[in-house]
Amino acid sequence: MSYVSTVKWDSATLQDAIVGLRERRGDSAEIEVKSAAGGAPTLGPTLCAFANMPEGGTIILGLDEAAGFVPVDLTSVAALEQAVSDQARTSVVPPLRCEFQIFRVSGKPVLVVEVTGLPLDQRPARHGGKAYLRQTDGDYVMSEQGLAQLELAKTQAKQPTHPDRRPVPGSSADDLDGGLVASYLAAARAASRRYAAATDAQILLHTGVTTRSGEVSLAGLYAMGQFPQSGSPSLGITAAAVPPRESDSPRTRDLVHLIGPIPDLLDEAMAWVLRNTRTTMGYDDRGHGVDRSELPMRAVREIVANALVHRNLDPITDSKRVEIRLLNDQLVITSPGGLWGVSESQLGRPGAKSAVNPVLYEICKFVRMADASRVIEGEGGGIREATQALTAAELRPPRFIDSGLQFTVIISRHTLVEGQTSYRISPSLASSAQEPLEVLETALSRPARLDDMGAPRPRVKNSDSILSAMAAASTLHELVAATGLTEGQVRYALKRLIESGDVVMIGSQGVRDTRYERSPGVH
């Protein structure tokens, strides 16, 4: 059995993880936290679940979730590491490999355990005879459908069946939307001299929209059919807004089941996100007030389009739709089936593209939206575009979670500037917060600094908290950990403080070791 090292942690990534855990107030799909103050906890289901994830997962031992993920006193880190190793070898079949790193948080040791995901042909791992799968809020026994989907994935890896090519029984070109077909043919002819000289029927046949028997392919019906869901109800989107857990509101609101071909699905999904997210006031380059969406819709569009085009189309997923869930703090988009031919860590990098449905992917290059825009640009850069749009909006990059059976993208809703918002320590953290976090309660009462003419300078959001944390030159990640703010909030404030001359950057933007310090005379 061969493995590739998966260790990816350093002190900065651990600090980032702790901040994220505090914001979520719980574990994530990629990270499980245990106190381990009384010794090694039972980890069989979690080890098994992470082993069944293509890129594994991480267990952090030595943080108390109930107290706000603060460090505890571990009795013996060496004994703890040995106990986890023993569980990985003996409680899970096949035996797993774990890699260990020790860090110090507030002077106390924390053990980070990186669980290596098993190769596809060795999954599923089992604990106590049961296969587990990791989901957002814990470890679950894999369903019979999930196990069948996993076995199919093994078969497809050796001999792909390309379900998007299969003809839809009883269908014909009359089942296609005339307007979409007309724009499709025009785009195909514009892109190729050979297509320019071909008949409509020839183009539809040789691009995979129709088959030689005259039936429409599943890809063709999904991309341009009048009613694609009449034969395959799962070829749609279910979207719902989910209120906070502590809310008395109904379980969901604005629950919709979107139908139609891919252009309609994409257009209606965008409209749904827009009406369920906030609109903020901003200013354009000329200083004119404009309405801006809380989330950059270019990023949302790219991610939804990817979910639609790259979803699994095997019969085993016939009951699974693309799902959109809007939570209080994030937008979650999930599509059936895992990644194909590319790993989670490769997403967004140049050359990292692989079409789950190659025929559908090629068809969608020529499919046009109502405004004549493309459904996809066809160069594999959608994830990169989404990440750039989120970065430009000073939001965090998207999170990707590939369980092997479904693929999830999470977009943070944390906006960086909200004029009427104040930031305070959560009551759950108040008792455990040390001095760096307590700065949040007192910073708002401090006087603004005067500019060179003696007038108060415009207040930079969160600047007092950040300046107070700069007892010495600090990196971005150290400031995030010290203030309890999000990375985006700290980046925004630092940018404004540098522009005002209150802070000096030592190094280059985007470099992890770059440090920031207060300018002389700034207190």
- Lowest-confidence range among 26-30, 220-224, 508-512? 508-512
Whether residue 501 has pLDDT greater than 80? no
Helices (H), 310-350: none
Predicted confidence at residue 265, as pLDDT, reads 97
Nearest to 113 by CA among 20, 177, 30: 30
Tell me whether residue 169 is exposed, middle or buried, using C-beta atoms within 10 angstroms of its C-beta: 0 to 12, 13 to 18, 19 or more: exposed
* Average pLDDT score over residue span 500-522: 70
Whether residue 440 has pLDDT greater than 50? no
Architecture of domain 427-518: Orthogonal Bundle (1.10)
Does this model's pTM top 0.85? My answer is: no
Predicted confidence at residue 481, as pLDDT, reads 82
Distance CA 207, CA 321 (A): 25
How open is the CA angle 87-93-97, to the nearest 5 degrees? 55
Fold matches, 227-355+364-412 and 427-518: no
Confidence of residue 507 (pLDDT cuts 50, 70, 90): low
Whether residue 420 has pLDDT greater than 90? no
Tokens (6 digits) for 426: 């959560």
Start-to-end CA distance of the chain, whole Å, equals 58
Whether residue 456 has pLDDT greater than 80? no
pLDDT, tens digit (0-9, with 9 covering 90-100), for 78-110: 999 999 999 999 999 999 999 999 999 888 999
- Beta-carbon contacts of residue 413 (< 8 Å; ≥ 6 apart): 277, 294, 295, 327, 328, 329, 330, 331
Residue-level length of the chain: 523
Is 11-142 assigned to CATH 3.30.950.30? yes
**Domain chopping of the chain, boundaries:** 11-142, 227-355+364-412, 427-518
pLDDT, tens digit (0-9, with 9 covering 90-100), for 20-43: 888 888 888 899 999 999 899 999
Whether residue 370 has pLDDT greater than 80? yes
Distance CA 214, CA 168 (A): 10
Whether residue 393 has pLDDT greater than 70? yes
Q: What are the Cα distances from residue 105, in Å, to 55, 77, 429, 481? A: 26, 14, 16, 10
Q: Which residue has the higher pLDDT, 473 or 1?
A: 473
Give 227-355+364-412's CATH code, choosing from 3.40.50.300, 3.40.630.30, 3.30.565.60, 3.30.465.10: 3.30.565.60
